[in-house]
Each structure stands twice: as C-alpha cells, then as structure tokens.
Amino acid sequence: MLTTLAILLIVNAAWNAIVWPQFYKRVSRDERARDANGKPTRFLIVHAVLIGISLLIGLISLVAGIVALVAG
C-alpha cells in the first residue's frame, strides 16, 4: 500500500511539473495579462500565485513520494 501511495504522489508531482508551466505560458500571452503600459494585471498576478502554489504542492508531493518509496 505504501508503494502505491508513493507512486501516486510521484505521478501527481509529474503532472504538476508538466501542466502548470504550460498553463502559465498561455496565461502570460493572454491579452488580459498586461495593461496598456505593459504592467502585469491582477489576472496575471492571481494566476501566477495559483500556479506557484500548485508547483509547490507538486514539489511536496515529490518529496513525500520519494520518502514513502525509501521507507517502504
């Protein structure tokens, strides 16, 4: 069971590492991401924070998965 949990956590980490950076690229190119002066809008800032949190959760999942594999 511990090995299954570890694999699930590592898959979650991989998913976060693959999906969120691509999403950020799309968000940053969106016309709502910057105002007329080129400054970041709340749209970009909020999405960047959410993506950063998701990547942090992915990193934590990776560490927990590795620890579970080593312990199991």
* Segment 4-43, tens digit of pLDDT: 999 999 999 999 999 999 999 999 999 999 999 999 999 9
Question: pTM (2 decimals)?
Answer: 0.89
Domain boundary assignment for the chain = 2-71
- Indicate the residue type of 41: T
- State the pLDDT confidence band at 63, using cuts at 50, 70 and 90: very high
CB crowding 50-71: b at 16 or more within 10 Å, else e: ebeebbeebeebbebbeebeee
Give the single-character DSSP code of 33.
S
- State the pLDDT confidence band at 1, using cuts at 50, 70 and 90: confident
